[in-house]
A and B are shown apart, each in its own frame.
Chain A
């Protein structure tokens, strides 16, 4: 594995922090490491569920937490936009006229709170939407290409912590999207059990865990119709 690749670099930073703090990998830990690596003044994750569209959960510090709260209160902002559109929303200058027009309530309030730039990345696994990771800075400007690549790996990390569980080592790094069978099996199990994709993926994971098999093996059995869920 090339250690210069963002995935390897980011995961090493997360593992190091986890060991140094003697704490398992959590959303809060991912946010804290992400803030350091991206030179962000704060990084936060908000989760989405059937009941709550946007629920702030982990934040690297209180200042970024304020930006999450503002979005909940005002009902608009980059994080909510990223969730609605299913794509990253990058805002290099919150004080810019077009940004102020885009979010007439949020943008001025965020600037008042000391924020200058905010970058929001949805935690998405195909049609499964888990939440959004947001990085805020007190100085305006774009992320560098390297920072953008790293931010996407941190987004994968937060997604894995939330959806797939880190016990599944094979799911690390850039491999999230290579598991075509897992995505296909998720769709099949959703129909078999009459549930949504999020639930179906949980059922698959639980089965893999209980039968002490790898998720990809269980998924292959589902796709080949050797295994059914009811």
Chain B
């Protein structure tokens, strides 16, 4: 079962790499696939930007987003260790090692996570970021799931570096800069939509994502349309409310 779904995911990921490549959409999709395939409760992805600072680019849930941001703020946690060393960092039971990342461990438990597994986005000596998997129970990630996680991370790495090979290196940084800014556009649009529809920001995000998918449009384009109140998204909330 895992094998078939995994193969399917690789085909999907390969499809996204062709044509209009949107880093944010691609990595958001990857974080959600990780949750579906790997028997983990949540996933988050960090990417290093041209300023050499780590940025959160995708999260499968709002809780994980907050947890990842906390790591970035405190400059402490398994994902950062994974990025800085370029190696897998795994801690199946955070309660067993309370002093390894004291602040992160507490925050993770409060968010309902006991285990964490971080996989680098790395090709040879170059580390681009990390994929972080969170589990609600204290069990190690199975060998098979760990291997699939690394394979997914490798596909993501190649996807990002593929662009770099095709284009001028600095143009890729232009793209990445654009992608990171579109992440902010998405946050602003979450706010706009949540206030219009009187829903919380997590619901607003899910709504925009579903809308973007069903119309085969980039999430960032839908977010911008929400902010500018364009006709394209006039029925976004209407559909949601009637479908409730």
A: residues with CB less than 8 A from B are 1, 5-7, 86-90, 124-128, 142-143, 145, 148-149, 152-153, 156, 173-174, 177-178, 180, 183-192, 197, 223
Contacts and interface: CB of A to CB of B under 8 A. Distances in A.
B187 A126 contact: yes
B37 interface: no
Contacts of A7: 51-53
A143 B69 CA distance: 31
Interface in B177-214: 177-178, 180-196, 201
Given A188-B195, A191-B192, A152 B187 contact: no
22 contacts: A5-B52, A7-B51, A7-B53, A86-B181, A87-B174, A87-B181, A143-B170, A148-B50, A148-B170, A149-B52, A152-B177, A153-B51, A156-B51, A173-B53, A174-B55, A178-B56, A180-B56, A183-B184, A187-B193, A189-B191, A191-B192, A197-B227
Interface in B48-80: 49-53, 55-56, 65, 69, 72-73, 75
A125 B181 CA distance: 7
Contacts of A88: 173-174, 177
Given A125-B181, A149-B51, 11 more contacts: A126-B188, A142-B170, A145-B173, A148-B50, A148-B173, A180-B56, A183-B191, A184-B187, A187-B189, A191-B196, A223-B201
A126 B182 CA distance: 6
B178 A126 contact: no
Nearest to B53: A174
Majority SS of interface residues in chain B?
Answer: helix
Contact of A190 (B69, B72, B171, B192): B192
Given A87-B174, A177-B55, A186-B191, A126 B196 contact: no
B201 A197 contact: no
Nearest to A6: B51
Contacts of B53: 5-7, 173-174
A184 B188 contact: yes
A183 B187 contact: yes
Contact of B170 (A90, A156, A183): A90
A189 B171 CA distance: 35
B224 interface: yes
Contacts of B190: 184, 187
B170 A6 contact: no
A90 B174 contact: yes
A184 B178 contact: no
A199 B45 CA distance: 32
A184 B191 CA distance: 4
A192 B52 CA distance: 36
A104 B190 CA distance: 41
A191 B168 CA distance: 41
B192 A188 contact: yes
A183 B205 CA distance: 13
A177 B178 contact: no
B171 A90 contact: yes
Nearest to A183: B187
Contacts of A1: 75
Nearest to A185: B191
A14 to B, nearest CB: 14
Nearest to A1: B75
Contacts of B171: 90
A180 B187 contact: yes
Contacts of A188: 191-192, 194-195
B195 A127 contact: no
A177 B51 CA distance: 12
A126 B52 contact: no
A5 B49 CA distance: 12
A48 B212 CA distance: 30
